[in-house]
Structure 1
Amino acid sequence: MTDTAILAVLRNPDLKAARRKRDVAAAEAFAAGLLPDPQLSANLDHPTTAGYMNGYGAGLTLDLRSFFTDATAKAIARDRQASLNMDILWQEWQTIQQARSLYAEKYFAMEKLRLLQNTVNLYAIQSKHAQKALKAGDATLDQAGSALVALMDARGGRDTQQRALLDINHKLDALLDLSSDTDVPLRSLGNPAMPTDDDVYAALALLPQRRPDLIALQTAYASQEETLYKAVLEQFPDISVGFNAARDTSGVHSIGPAVSLNLPVFNGSRGQIAVAKATRAELRQEYQARLDQAHSDALTLWRQTQLIARQIKAVQKSIPQLQSLAASAGHAYNAGDFPAQTYVAVESGLLKKKMEYLGLQQALWTNRIALDALLAWPPDFIAARNQERMDFKHAH
């Protein structure tokens, strides 16, 4: 399962496209660190009155505002780049969850298909005996018809499961960017490693420092703080300084400095400040809402996971009894001491219980994988933690 998740991160087309955004962010960060070029101006005056010469002028001007806002612009670009990196990491995290979920879906779909095929085989036996009994006059038409309908229903359930498996394969191939004829090898899945309450609450406490999407919002908020600071700096007059040299049409030469500035009377960057403040407040609210939702979802999911784990234990206890009963029924049926209909009913009950067990197992895996993503746990983190606890217990 872990190998499939790694393959998804490496090959997924959407992630490849998302990673290209890093180059754009790096280019924007580079551009933010560049100072503006000086401006060169020149003019030529040609007199139309006799007795005068051509006049000319040249000037070099430099905008000083960028020298004061350069550090802030760099900080904004760096924070945006960091936020983008965390967003991409969160996409990778979600892709890992999706790959693991599809892996589990495929495994349990194949296991269910195997049980459903066994069910078809059972009802085929029942229908065959019912048809034979009908011809011999030992069964009614209703009994034979009911057995045939049960067989048709079993085949329908199997066919539906085959289509579901085909759909899962298509989704997994698309996620891994594999051709449709590529088969993803599966390993047997037992029950997933279960965390403790302490593990869950410790992860919730560390969520702001661990979950990539929350870190991305934190860096986006920091970037917006810098944007607000830059807007405040831009309230001050934009000053440009320069040096001019000129000759007028009468031959008089002149040189001297030049200063120009805008007067922040009507605008004064008030609009940019208002937008920056509103955006900052929006990011703060979004971060808190995301954090609260993560806490709520994780706790709900954890309670559901614990319930499913208890239900699995209860089902596990009942299966050996049914297996023993089915084995006895099978021996009696093969010896001719047990009617086919009763034998099929016993075996069918066992298969239904196994299907229930597989459904609970799949639900447990689905919840555990989702919990890993919500709490920013690596795929094998809890298994490793449980092993550490076991080793510590044995050592002491």
Structure 2
Amino acid sequence: MRKTIPALVLSILSGCAAYHARPLRAPALAALRGPTHRALTAAARALKVPGLAPLPLDFRRPLTGKELGVIAVIASPALRALRARERIARAQVFAAGLLPDPVIQFSALKPYGIGAAGRTVALSDGFLWDLSRLVTRSTDIRMARERASAVRYRVAWREWVAANEARLAARQVYWLKAEWTVAHNAAEFWKGHEGVLARDVRRRLIGRRRLLFLQAAQDAFAMKAAALRRALKAARIALAGQLGLPPSAPLPIARPRPVRPVPGAPGALFRRAVSRRLDLVALVAAYHSADAALLRAVLDQYPRLSIGAAGARNSSGLSEAGFQLSLVLPLFNANRGAVAIARAKRRALFEDYVARLSAARSQIYRLDAAQGSLDRELARLKGRRRRLARTARAAQAAYEAHALGLVSYLTLMQELTAVELRMTGLRLDRAATTLALITATATPWTGRAS
């Protein structure tokens, strides 16, 4: 007996969790350095995210938008924080399945005062176990599992959105650089001819008003180039932040290929999105969790029963043993408030789901219409640019042969530059629209294109 009690105590204590202190600031600052290339490559090969396929990363060449999207999923600090929330939800499922601990009671009452002589110490002990937790255990587990599923789907949705946002950010960096190059080259082209224009003005070959008009157009290109340079720097820093990398980290980006348009009528796209979009699936799981919470609140209205064993020895030395029951009577039905709250939460989640469906449908129809409009505008500008490029080549040859005036040549080059800038901006708008539609319809990525 002497060995049994210590062994029992040790076995109980061995199941208890241990506490270990963990500092905050130093590990957090170390995490800002971001993962190594080797760690990112290994994680990308083992990627398991709906809609995203594992990719082999090669940091010796420029990265595509898809590869940067996968890196964002792996290394984004915001996503790492969300995945930590997912671990909390899994721990809550574990906690919901645990059985209630039994309660052991013991008391010792020593007689004193008049008549206490010859009396013994009165002892009582008992063992009590709450049976009501057995009734609600399956509901608790269902509620926790549905809540964990909602969190898991929300995290997966945010991963999907973050991957597409990084893919778009990579395109934005690339096309901003291309747009800046066009504007910068236009400004440099003007500087190369400023001396000739000034000489022609002095010779009265060009009117001053015409010169001021040309200068205003070129000043606009110079200001555009300066604004694009600032936007490009901000876009690079923002992309590094999305990837969880330092702002100064080098990010060579490959030339993006055209994003394939999302096929299908908007009505069919919306119907597919209802089952594919993980934010909508998360709301369904949250609704089921709220439904289980309502059932749990209803079950808590009924009497709660605890059963156990009891033993006692009174002060006369007489020992007794038996069982005991504990019953909580819901005379005042204090749990009606919890039932009303749970019912209201379930209704609120239903309305949230309807509102999200309505917003998704509107977004898909709007993006589908914008995608078609941008395609037509790009096709029109491509044709115009081809014609202007041919005319510009002929104009350059004529100018060099002194068969065309400088003003006419510069005017044509300004028009070509304006069309190229417009096309570059439209390419980015088209990519943003299509990637937003890919996100809204949860269309899986295919192929190696960026």
TM-score between both structures, scaled by the size of structure 2: 0.81
2:227 to 154, 160, 184: 160
**Where does residue 169 of structure 1 map in the other structure?**
236
**Where does residue 48 of structure 2 map in the other structure?**
none
**Counterpart of 1:52 in structure 2: which amino acid?**
R
Q: How many Å apart are 1:278 and its aligned residue?
A: 0.4
Q: How many Å apart are 1:178 and its aligned residue?
A: 2.1
1:220 to 271, 275, 286: 286
Q: How many Å apart are 1:5 and its aligned residue?
A: 0.8
Q: How many Å apart are 1:207 and its aligned residue?
A: 2.1
Q: How does 1:251-290 map to 2 (within 5 A)?
A: 251-290=317-356
Q: How many Å apart are 1:210 and its aligned residue?
A: 0.8
Alpha-carbon distance change, 252 to 92 in structure 1, aligned in 2, over 3 angstroms: same
Q: Distance in 2 between matches of 1:225 and 1:301?
A: 34
Alpha-carbon distance change, 236 to 208 in structure 1, aligned in 2, over 3 angstroms: same
**Where does residue 16 of structure 2 map in the other structure?**
none
Q: How many Å apart are 1:72 and its aligned residue?
A: 0.9
Q: Deviations over 1:227-271 (max 9, x none)?
A: 111111111101111211111112222112111111111135211
Q: Report which of the two has the higher share of helix.
A: 1
Q: Is the 8 A contact 1:123 1:150 kept in 2?
A: no
Q: Deviations over 1:10-45 (max 9, x none)?
A: 111111121112222221111111111110111111
1:294 to 347, 355, 360: 360
Matched, 1:13 2:80: no
**Where does residue 271 of structure 2 map in the other structure?**
205
Q: Distance in 2 between matches of 1:255 and 1:172?
A: 73
Matched, 1:47 2:111: yes
Q: Deviations over 1:202-247 (max 9, x none)?
A: 3311223211111111011111111111111111101111211111
**Where does residue 155 of structure 2 map in the other structure?**
88
Matched, 1:232 2:298: yes
Q: Which moved more, 1:15-24 or 1:1-10?
A: 15-24
Matched, 1:314 2:380: yes
Structure 2: tracts of 5 or more residues without a match: 1-64
Q: Deviations over 1:343-369 (max 9, x none)?
A: 010011111112122222111111000
**Where does residue 33 of structure 2 map in the other structure?**
none
**Where does residue 102 of structure 2 map in the other structure?**
38
Q: How many Å apart are 1:109 and its aligned residue?
A: 0.5
Structure 1: tracts of 5 or more residues without a match: 384-396
Q: Distance in 1 between matches of 2:291 and 2:244?
A: 40
Q: Is the 8 A contact 1:64 1:241 kept in 2?
A: yes
Q: Deviations over 1:151-193 (max 9, x none)?
A: 4332221111111100100100111122333332223335321
Corresponding residue SS for 1:82: helix
Corresponding residue SS for 1:197: coil
**Where does residue 21 of structure 2 map in the other structure?**
none
Alpha-carbon distance change, 70 to 130 in structure 1, aligned in 2, over 3 angstroms: same
Q: Is the 8 A contact 1:6 1:96 kept in 2?
A: yes
Corresponding residue SS for 2:120: coil
Q: Is the 8 A contact 2:398 2:404 kept in 1?
A: yes
Q: Distance in 1 between matches of 2:205 and 2:377?
A: 43
Q: How many Å apart are 1:146 and its aligned residue?
A: 5.0
Q: Is the 8 A contact 1:126 1:341 kept in 2?
A: no
Output the aligned Cα RMSD.
1.9
Corresponding residue SS for 1:206: helix
Q: Distance in 2 between matches of 1:137 and 1:260?
A: 110
1:24 to 88, 97, 110: 88
Q: Distance in 1 between matches of 2:329 and 2:96?
A: 25
Runs of 4+ in 1 over 6 A off after TM superposition: none
2:170 to 103, 117, 120: 103
